[in-house]
Amino acid sequence: MKLRFIRNIAIATVAVLALGSCREQIDEGARYTFTGHTIASFLEENEDVYSSFIEILTRGGRFSLMKAYGTYTCFAPTNDAIARYLFEQDSIYQASLVDDNPEDIVWTGVTSPELSELSDSMCKVISQTHLLPLVYLTTDMEGDIIPTMNMNDRYLSLSYDVDENNHNVLLINGTGKIIAKDEEVENGVVHTIATVLNPSTNTIPAQIKEHDYFHIISEAIAQTGYDDKLQLYKDESYTEGDLKAPGIYNNSPLCPYPANRYFGYTAFLEPDQVFFDAGIYNFEDLKAKCAEWYPEADANAPLTSAENPVNQFVGYHLLDRKLAYSRLVCYKINPHANFNSEKDLVNFTDRNEYYETLNGRLMKLTMPRSNPKYQTTILINYSKDTDASVNHYMNTIVHNPEDFKLLNDSVYADFAPQALNGTIHAIDKILLYNEDVMAGRVLNSIIRVDFSALCSEMTNNDIRWNYFTHSSDGEVYIPHTYCKNMKVLTEESRVYYLSPHTSWANYQGDEMMTLGAFDFAYKLPPVPAGTYEIRMGYSANSLRHIVQFYIDNEVAGIPVDLRIMGSNPTINWIADSRTEDEGVQNDKEMKNRGYLKGPITFRNTSETGLARDYDGDLRKVITTKYLTAGEHWLRFKNVNENDDGTAQFMHDYIEIVPISFIRNENLTLSEKRQ
């Protein structure tokens, strides 16, 4: 066994294994299964390759873990890789000592090229950087990140290069070439890498500064004070990570709390060349332009004031959640063995997400699958409108990181999007916000937002769209003060997130659920001022609840019994196939009762009928209301007098629909049913 493995390493050292980005392109013949070995014994069997890494794991307190039962992925650097890493990091540190200025010292964590001089704490950091708590074969590695954080609580990025034979090479964190892949053992898998994964501690502002081609926007972020607002990483006061809550179904199995409470950010950035093309060559030029772009702002206000035009410009580039490129929209999300977004969501329907920026405005992110020109492109504030006079406010392209590296003769080849506490994305033109354009052209549609998307904590802590970090039933309990955009008003409220599953009639496959004597509220997305119809999407069945809705603490209608199926005469759902007009008249009758059928954009179960075709998938009209600028809250209260604590308030998504859209007589039947 050892001879076969050493031969594999030797071949890989001469020519790096060719890896494709798709499962079908992987050379399955290169994989071995080492029966009877753990990750630890596998490394020990080949200690002439891994002895340095074994020492780091041992001194970092993680080698014994690699002997235990579990499911781990180990990226194992070779002895040569570790020796090279120590020499390079020490050289950086020693060079920074030359001018005797303490402020110029670069602390790398390595102060000697000798492994014996490496601190135990640094050994722990390096160890945890190279270990994941789940098994990932190279065939599972798609997109721009591995979707589970490593044991150092950070995502590892994925990218591709070519070797001297023009074969694709898979890189971890931009530099870690896999030179031997998919060595399966009893408690996981080992991938051998030729470079140590450097545990960078850059926050978002520092990561931006490291890229010379973001100089103008980087200075704008600093001048407006947003650099200070982008520093948070982990809430050290959160101490509930080891707790368990009663489960949803008969209180069993016990359901975990989130392990941590991390903060995260996303920054959409114009490369300097984009500014140059617009006649902006420095920060002073940008200040002058911002005064033109935001004429109602106060150019005399301090740059750190929300009233200042530069502050408004920068604030619209930033989100309070960490979104890698592959997580900007729900596309090719596969967190569960029985769920895949490309089966649950109808293939050529647009993938939309709506997020609040750091300056309290709404941003729409779209992969317009219905548009042949942009089917795999992500755009900010997408609109089918092609009016050239306002196009500079719409359809800003977010570059795929790998594509961006190849632009301008590979000027951006060193682009590294992942920071300690967030992600940076390059965009193709200047990103501006205009309320009239947003209201009239970008958001004049059904604004559908998954309830889990309303809380940034669900994304920053690897809860949303993730099955594996939850209970055996795919549940996670949300503590009362965990989400800033959720107010829990009674101690008896029990709030859960249920990860995507193919057997549910749910938008994006997942759902939020609340049990007990609940009374709680979500902050609504900051839509432009106007009159909207507010709806809730849910899946009805006999286990559900009776709920009273409130908007801004004002009662909205009468209590709603979510146990009633659509075919009940009080709702009068009739399958389209049983009508003579494709359900048009039935839609009107249901709307008069305050209900709509499910959308045509996702399925009631994977690869079967549409949500519209299932009488349990319903949308309830909560109210029609004029929403002013500022905060608005949607509140839910348990009014089921017979509830014994097991009734379920399942809430899937919210729809905020402009009245102008509802009254638009030019819409096609398909557009109305999206």
Does residue 143 have a pLDDT over 90?
no
| Closest to 537 measured CA to CA, from 621, 633, 451, 653 | 653
Average pLDDT over residues 335-355: 83
Token pair in block for residue 380: 């900010």
- Summarised one tens digit per residue, pLDDT across range 492-532 is 999 999 998 877 889 999 999 999 999 999 999 999 999 99
Does residue 5 have a pLDDT over 50?
no
Number of residues that make up the chain? 674
Average pLDDT over residues 590-595: 98
Average pLDDT over residues 59-71: 94
Contacts of 27 (CB under 8 A, 6+ apart): 17, 18
Token pair in block for residue 386: 């092609």
Contacts of 306 (CB under 8 A, 6+ apart): 312, 315, 359
- Higher-pLDDT residue of 605 and 142 is 142
Rounded CA separation 409/411 (Å): 6
| Closest to 173 measured CA to CA, from 160, 156, 188 | 156
Does residue 1 have a pLDDT over 50?
no
pLDDT at 28: 36
Q: How many CB atoms lie within 10 A of CB 439?
A: 16
pLDDT band at residue 474 using 50, 70 and 90 as cut-offs: confident
Percent with pLDDT over 70 in the chain: 91
Q: Which domains does the chain have, with CATH numbers?
A: 2-193 (2.30.180.10), 206-235+263-433 (2.30.180.10), 447-672 (2.60.120.260)
Q: Which helix (H) or strand (E) holds 633?
A: strand 633-638
Rounded CA separation 90/101 (Å): 17
Does residue 7 have a pLDDT over 80?
no
Rounded CA separation 421/502 (Å): 31
Which residue type does 632 have? H
The number of C-alpha atoms within 13 Å of 541 and in the hemisphere containing its C-beta is: 9
pLDDT band at residue 323 using 50, 70 and 90 as cut-offs: very high
Which residue type does 445 have? S
Token pair in block for residue 559: 């209590």
pLDDT at 33: 65
- Summarised one tens digit per residue, pLDDT across range 351-406 is 999 999 999 999 999 999 999 999 999 999 999 988 889 999 999 999 999 899 99
CB 459 within 8 A of CB 264: yes
- Higher-pLDDT residue of 111 and 669 is 669
pLDDT at 162: 77
Q: Strands 188-193 and 72-77, how do they pair?
A: parallel
Rounded CA separation 76/671 (Å): 51
pLDDT at 466: 82
Task: Tell me, rounded to whole angstroms, the distance of Cα 360 from its chain centroid.
Answer: 19
Average pLDDT over residues 433-445: 96
pLDDT at 338: 65
- Summarised one tens digit per residue, pLDDT across range 111-139 is 889 999 999 999 999 999 999 998 999 98
Q: Which of 53-62, 397-406, 465-474 has the lowest mean pLDDT?
A: 465-474
pLDDT at 25: 29
State the first-to-last Cα distance of the chain, in angstroms, to the nearest integer. 57
pLDDT band at residue 153 using 50, 70 and 90 as cut-offs: confident
Token pair in block for residue 327: 């997580």
Rounded CA separation 215/294 (Å): 22
pLDDT at 468: 67
Contacts of 466 (CB under 8 A, 6+ apart): 147, 148, 335, 499
Rounded CA separation 605/26 (Å): 30
Rounded CA separation 493/506 (Å): 23
